């Protein structure tokens, strides 16, 4: 009986203790003993003792309260407590200390203080632990300035350009031991244009490539996404400048693993786990300097290393054995004045880029040629010219993304090219003959076999192909067999004949998963034929996605699927043919004669048509579909210039009540993706509205968002529209050939609608039916749009509205993950 009562009292005492510990603040005299914790006001972060996996050692740390194994900060990382008798408190001198069972201090914040009045330690909603005097708000010490291995939103990695002092992440020794490991990571702002670097015992292990204000030039994924939640803050003696970036709703961390990988993770609230969004180094080529100086790495080739053109291995033997560390040397010495440049496409630019003030592409070459110590240059619209002098190290060749690098070579290198070219031509000719013979034989076999089993294309029921998960229809990849349902079937032979055996002259372009050919059927009907290419990795999924989505839809502003063909390894879809090609070709084609036809009436009816197509997808069809890749090349034009949305390879179908989804694999196109989608993989109808807004502005301006660049102001297309509209000068944004005072009111209204669609927060963007009501003037008065996120591109307005061009000559640079959540 008395034991019961004691237990009860203990229980009550515990719950009272718990209640008092609902507080996020630790004041002088209070002791927190293992396993008590304090919790941030919004309940997201906890400070308390924990044990890493596979050990009984105890450490004081900060972790997520909904994911307690995710520790973001460790106090006594080098001084573990051997049992759970630890405590944390404020010492007499005001420092936060960790005590062991014998009251010995094992860790201290070590702030030198003389007399603190009422020191308190508080865990903030950002996950930052701060030590301050209760009255004054200034932090004397904060955990964000002494990070462990994880960066959370609001934290800054920085380097002081004057002192060189850095705030770095330091990896754990291994997964069970949080002690200081060999890898550190942070911002390097001194050895060239700012970039993120991971060091291994102080030697570079991986680098992100230069930051251009939007993306890191050495991270492939970033070329597809707008920005990745990073923001650069400059802070110099004249004033503070910073990039404003959206408050996002996602929870992102960047951690440095004990093996030196920088890993970006996104919290998946539904599945209650962290999804890895990016992890670098991804392959051997990403490891710093794998191919040595003047070498270039390509992960898709074997061997992965080669010398840059004009260079040869410094040590043939070693190179041949696959030891590339010594790199390559120049074959023909430079003679200054008499040199040329070799262009290398799709590169991760070498380390030690020096940015110049020159912001015009043509000037880069002249400037480099005029300086004998300049051995290479490159250009990025946000950075301007970049130059290299002593060495070219950690160069990498990407697949289809990256920057053009121009390498300086002796003029005689270009002569010897001609000789080499001769050999190449002879070689190619011989090869061609061989291949032709082989192809003939192969063709002969195929024709023979086809005769035998033309009926063989097996069909599976749809239910076996895909399952429905909570957010979208997901395709199962295991099945090699494909069902194209009720679609009319075409034979491969018919299509091969229609397209002149898929002849290159019939090539119309490339769709999501393969080339598109023009074809003419026996009855003279023109068709477009999209063939799944063998090398397209995600192709199979996109193919089936397209079949599912589009075979269920019919609308005059969506491209019509006429049929399909599944035979052996061939998977082909057949569409109606669009004589006026894509909006992309019409609007941005070089001096395109059809562009003259695109007068204002035509353009506004194209805008309306696209809007109606989107409305059908979002609302009117039985399904609710998010397209996810709206851009001019996916809008086709029929003979009457009616726009038709195409390419549903990335589209998502939603069930009744859901209205948004998220994905770890962000697909889409740089320039058209809404910020929340590009950064966090969250997509909704409003992300399509964002892309539609970009389309509207492009149609009005006649220029591409990604390529548009105003030299003087260095503004993006959206920034330019915003600036001119805001200054009441909307007409000057309109493409010159169509700008007219008579239609000014309509045009400016249309720009305003575009700006409403590209607002930062999805909730601020109008839904597609509202946009259409605005277009048809059922809604007469338009709301005033907020400033778009990407208004600045390489330059930032200061507090007084001034524009600062030179982003890189500053005292202190920081890169941080977005604030808030
Ligand atoms: C925590 O306690 C202090 C006093 O001990 C009080 O001033 C503060 O408001 C409390 N904070 C919260 C979030 O309850
Ligand atoms: C802990 O130990 C188990 C069994 O030895 C092992 O499978 C697991 O990977 C270890 N976990 C970590 C984080 O080292
Ligand atoms: C540690 O300090 C606490 C409070 O000051 C005291 O109650 C406890 O007896 C001390 N423990 C040891 C082992 O000295
Ligand atoms: C605090 O200072 C002591 C003595 O100078 C040192 O041994 C200890 O490593 C320091 N602790 C931290 C966390 O810096
Ligand atoms: C982690 O490191 C510690 C100390 O260096 C070592 O004793 C331990 O075996 C390591 N654990 C693993 C799983 O590698
Ligand atoms: C800029 O630096 C100064 C001095 O380090 C600091 O007081 C100020 O808060 C900083 N401003 C910003 C916006 O970070
Ligand atoms: C590559 O060669 C360098 C010396 O040229 C040598 O120090 C290094 O150990 C070699 N690496 C390998 C993996 O053999
Ligand atoms: C030439 O290039 C070097 C190294 O990049 C640089 O230090 C120097 O200032 C340049 N000279 C001129 C005249 O631009």
Name the catalytic one among 394, 629, 647, 688.
629
Q: pLDDT-based confidence at 552, cuts 50/70/90?
A: confident
Give which of 367, 381, 317 is closest to 793, Cα–Cα. 381
**Token code pair at residue 114:** 């003389």
Q: Which pLDDT score, from 0 to 100, does residue 693 have?
A: 95
* For the CA of 112, the nearest ligand: 4
Binding site membership of 141 for ligand 4 (Cβ less than 6 Å): no
Answer whether residue 679 shows pLDDT above 70.
Answer: no
Q: What percent of the chain has pLDDT over 90?
A: 35
Neighbours of 308 (CB within 10 A): 25
- Span 266-301, pLDDT tens digits: 887 778 889 887 899 999 999 999 999 999 999 888
Q: Which residues sit with their C-beta closer than 6 Å to ligand 5?
A: 173-174, 176-177
| 3-class secondary-structure state, position 575 | strand
Tell me the average pLDDT across 473-490.
55
Query: Is ligand 6 within 6 A of the CB of residue 249?
Result: no
C-alpha 499/C-alpha 486 separation (Å) is 24
pLDDT of 129 reads 95
Nearest to 348 by CA among 204, 197, 219: 219
Higher per-residue confidence, 716 vs 373: 373
- Of the candidates 39, 42, 47, 46, the residue with the CA atom closest to the CA atom of residue 23: 39
- In the chain, list all ranges with CATH 2.90.10.10: 2-145
What is the CB < 6 Å shell around ligand 8? Answer: 354, 371, 373-374, 387, 389
Q: What is the DSSP letter of 529?
A: E
Res 566: pLDDT: 84
Higher pLDDT, 221 or 470: 221
- Position 149 scores a pLDDT of 95
Evaluate whether 557 touches 612 at the Cβ level (below 8 Å). Answer: yes
Q: Tell me: pLDDT of 470 over 60.
A: no
Task: Average the pLDDT over 1-12 and give the result.
Answer: 54
Q: Which of 143-147, 463-467, 558-562, 763-767 shows the lowest mean pLDDT across its residues? A: 463-467
What global pTM score does this model have? 0.61
Average pLDDT of 490-516? Answer: 85
Query: By the 8 A CB rule, do 518 and 577 touch?
Result: yes
481 compared with 62, residue with greater pLDDT:
62
2-145: CATH superfamily: Bulb-type lectin domain (2.90.10.10)
Q: What is the structure's pLDDT at 443?
A: 63
- Decide which of 3.30.420.40, 3.40.47.10, 3.30.200.20, 3.90.1150.10 is the CATH code for 451-576: 3.30.200.20
Q: Which residues belong to CATH 1.10.510.10 in the chain?
A: 583-801
Q: Is the pLDDT of residue 466 over 70?
A: no
Q: Which residue has the tokens 């202190």?
A: 812
**Mean pLDDT, range 127-142, rounded to an integer:** 87
All CATH 3.30.200.20 domain ranges of the chain, comma separated, are 451-576
Question: What is the structure's pLDDT at 56?
Answer: 94
What pLDDT does 712 receive? 45
The pLDDT of residue 347 = 94
pLDDT of residue 268: 79
CA atoms within 13 A on the CB side of 601: 2
CATH classification (class only), 583-801: mainly alpha
Ligand 6 center to 75 CA (angstroms): 26
Q: What is the pLDDT of residue 667?
A: 59
- Comparison of pLDDT for 93 and 749, the residue scoring more: 749
Q: Please say if the pLDDT value at position 189 is more than 50.
A: yes
Nearest CA residue ID for atom 5, ligand 7: 326
What secondary structure does DSSP assign to 611-666, as a single string?
Answer: HHHHHIIIIISSSEEE-S---GGGEEE-TT--EEE---TT-EEE-SS--EEE-SS-
Beta strands in 18-128 (DSSP E): 25-27, 31-33, 37-39, 45-50, 59-64, 67-74, 87-90, 96-99, 105-108, 119-123
Edge-first strand listing for the sheet containing 105-108: 31-33, 87-90, 96-99, 105-108
Q: Are strands 96-99 and 87-90 parallel, antiparallel or unpaired?
A: antiparallel
Residue with tokens 């992440």: 169
Task: Report pLDDT for 233.
Answer: 65
23 lines ligand 1 (CB under 6 A): yes
| pLDDT band with cut points at 50, 70 and 90 for residue 146 | very high
Does the CB atom of residue 108 touch ligand 4 within 6 A?
A: yes
pLDDT band at residue 673 under the 50/70/90 scheme: confident
The CB of 323 under 6 Å from ligand 7? The reply is: yes
Q: Which of 148, 36, 142 is nearest to 88 (CA)?
A: 36
Q: Which has the higher per-residue pLDDT, 433 or 102?
A: 102
What sign does the dihedral 581-587-591-595 (CA atoms) show? Answer: positive
- Position 469 confidence tier, pLDDT thresholds 50, 70, 90: very low
* 156 band by pLDDT with thresholds 50, 70 and 90: confident
pLDDT score of 598 more than 80: yes
What's the average model confidence in pLDDT over 399-409? 87
In this predicted structure, which of 215-219, 317-321, 530-534, 764-768 has the lowest mean pLDDT? 530-534
DSSP letter at 69? Answer: E
For 388-415, b where at least 16 C-beta lie within 10 A, e where not — what string? beebbbbbbbbeebbbebbbbbbebbee
- Type and span of the H or E element at 557: none
Q: Please give the pLDDT value at position 215.
A: 75
> 3-state SS of 317-332?
HHHHCCCCCCCEEECC
Q: Residue 655: what pLDDT? A: 53
pLDDT digit string, tens, across residues 307-325: 999 999 999 999 999 999 9
**What is the domain class of 150-282 according to CATH?**
mainly beta
The Cα–Cα gap between 551 and 707 comes to 34
Give 748's strand partners. none
For residue 551, pLDDT over 80 is answered with no
Among 104, 108, 179, the mutation site with the greatest number of ligand 4 atoms within 8 A of its Cβ is 108
- At residue 344, does pLDDT exceed 80? yes
CB 24 near ligand 1, within 6 Å: yes
Give the helix ranges, DSSP H, for 256-337: 316-320
Mean pLDDT of the chain: 79
Planar angle of CA 549, 550, 553, nearest 5 degrees: 100
pLDDT surpassing 70 at residue 258: yes
Nearest alpha carbon to residue 576 among 566, 587, 561: 561
Give which of 665, 375, 684, 712 is closest to 542, Cα–Cα: 665
100 is catalytic: no
């Amino acid at each position: 009986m008395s034991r019961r009562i004691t237990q009860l009292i203990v229980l009550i005492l515990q719950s009272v203790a718990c209640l008092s510990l609902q507080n996020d603040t630790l004041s002088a005299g209070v002791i927190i003993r293992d396993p008590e914790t304090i919790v941030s006001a919004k309940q997201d972060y906890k400070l308390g003792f924990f044990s890493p996996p596979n050990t009984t050692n105890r450490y004081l740390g900060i972790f997520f309260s909904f994911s307690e194994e995710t520790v973001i900060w460790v106090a006594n990382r080098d001084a573990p407590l051997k049992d759970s008798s630890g405590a944390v408190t404020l010492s007499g001198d005001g420092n936060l200390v960790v005590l062991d069972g014998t009251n010995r201090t094992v860790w201290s914040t070590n702030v030198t203080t003389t007399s603190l009045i009422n020191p308190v330690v508080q865990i903030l909603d950002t996950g930052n632990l701060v030590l301050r005097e209760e009255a004054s708000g200034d932090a004397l010490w904060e955990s964000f300035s002494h990070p462990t291995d994880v960066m959370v939103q609001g934290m800054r990695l920085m380097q002081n350009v004057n002192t060189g002092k850095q705030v770095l992440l330091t990896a754990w020794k291994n997964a069970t031991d949080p002690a200081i490991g060999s890898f550190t990571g942070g911002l390097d702002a001194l050895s060239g244009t700012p970039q993120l670097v991971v060091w291994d015992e102080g030697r570079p292990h991986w680098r992100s490539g230069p930051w251009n204000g939007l993306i890191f030039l050495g991270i492939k994924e970033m070329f597809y996404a707008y920005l990745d939640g990073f923001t650069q803050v400059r802070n110099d003696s004249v004033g503070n400048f910073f990039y404003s970036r959206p408050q996002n709703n996602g929870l992102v961390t960047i951690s440095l693993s004990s093996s030196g990988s920088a890993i970006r993770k996104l919290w998946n609230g539904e599945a209650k786990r962290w999804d890895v969004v990016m992890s670098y180094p991804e392959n051997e080529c990403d490891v710093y300097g794998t191919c040595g100086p003047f070498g270039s790495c390509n992960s898709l080739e074997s061997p992965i290393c080669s010398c840059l053109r004009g260079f040869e291995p410094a040590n043939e033997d070693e190179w041949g054995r696959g030891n590339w560390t010594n790199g390559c040397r120049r074959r023909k010495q430079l003679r200054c004045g008499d040199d040329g440049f070799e262009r290398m496409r799709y590169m991760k630019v070498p380390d030690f880029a020096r940015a110049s003030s020159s912001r015009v592409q043509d000037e880069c070459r002249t400037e480099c040629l005029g300086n004998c110590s300049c051995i290479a240059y490159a250009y990025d619209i946000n950075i301007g010219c970049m130059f290299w002098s002593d060495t070219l190290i950690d160069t990498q060749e990407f697949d289809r993304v990256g920057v053009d690098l121009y390498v300086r070579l002796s003029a005689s290198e270009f002569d010897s090219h001609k000789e080499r070219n001769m050999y190449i031509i002879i070689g190619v000719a011989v090869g061609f003959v061989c291949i032709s013979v082989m192809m003939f034989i192969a063709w002969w076999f195929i024709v023979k076999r086809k005769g035998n089993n033309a009926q063989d294309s097996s069909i599976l029921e749809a239910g076996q192909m895909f399952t429905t998960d909570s957010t979208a229809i997901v395709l199962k990849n295991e099945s090699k067999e494909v069902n194209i349902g009720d679609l009319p079937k075409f034979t491969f032979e018919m299509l091969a004949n229609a397209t002149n055996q898929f002849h290159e002259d019939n090539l119309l372009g490339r769709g999501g998963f393969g080339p598109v050919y023009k074809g003419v059927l026996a009855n003279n009907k023109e068709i477009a034929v999209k063939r799944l290419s063998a090398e397209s990795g995600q192709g199979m999924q996109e193919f089936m996605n397209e079949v599912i989505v589009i075979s269920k839809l019919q609308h005059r502003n969506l491209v019509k699927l006429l049929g399909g063909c599944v035979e052996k390894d061939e998977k082909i879809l057949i569409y109606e043919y669009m004589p006026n090609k894509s909006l992309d070709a019409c609007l941005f084609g070089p001096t395109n004669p059809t562009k003259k036809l695109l007068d204002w009436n035509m353009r506004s009816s194209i805008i309306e048509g696209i809007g109606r197509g989107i409305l059908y997808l979002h609302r009117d069809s039985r399904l609710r579909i998010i397209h996810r890749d709206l851009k001019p090349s996916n809008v086709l034009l029929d003979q009457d210039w009616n726009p038709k949305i195409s390419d549903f390879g990335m589209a998502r179908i939603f069930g009744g009540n859901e209205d948004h989804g998220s994905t770890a694999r962000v697909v889409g196109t740089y320039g058209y993706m809404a910020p929340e989608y590009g950064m966090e993989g969250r997509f909704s109808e409003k992300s399509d509205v964002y892309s539609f807004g970009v389309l509207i502005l492009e149609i009005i301006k006649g220029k591409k968002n990604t390529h548009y660049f105003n030299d003087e102001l260095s503004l993006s297309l959206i920034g330019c529209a915003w600036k001119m509209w805001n200054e009441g000068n909307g007409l000057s944004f309109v493409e010159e050939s169509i700008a007219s005072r008579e239609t000014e009111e309509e045009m400016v209204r249309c720009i305003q609608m575009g700006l409403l669609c590209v607002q930062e927060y999805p909730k601020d963007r109008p839904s597609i039916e509202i946009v259409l009501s605005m277009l048809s003037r059922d809604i007469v008065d338009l709301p005033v749009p907020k400033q778009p996120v990407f208004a600045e591109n390489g330059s930032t307005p200061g507090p007084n509205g001034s524009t600062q061009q030179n982003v890189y000559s500053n005292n202190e640079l920081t890169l941080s993950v977005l604030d808030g959540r």
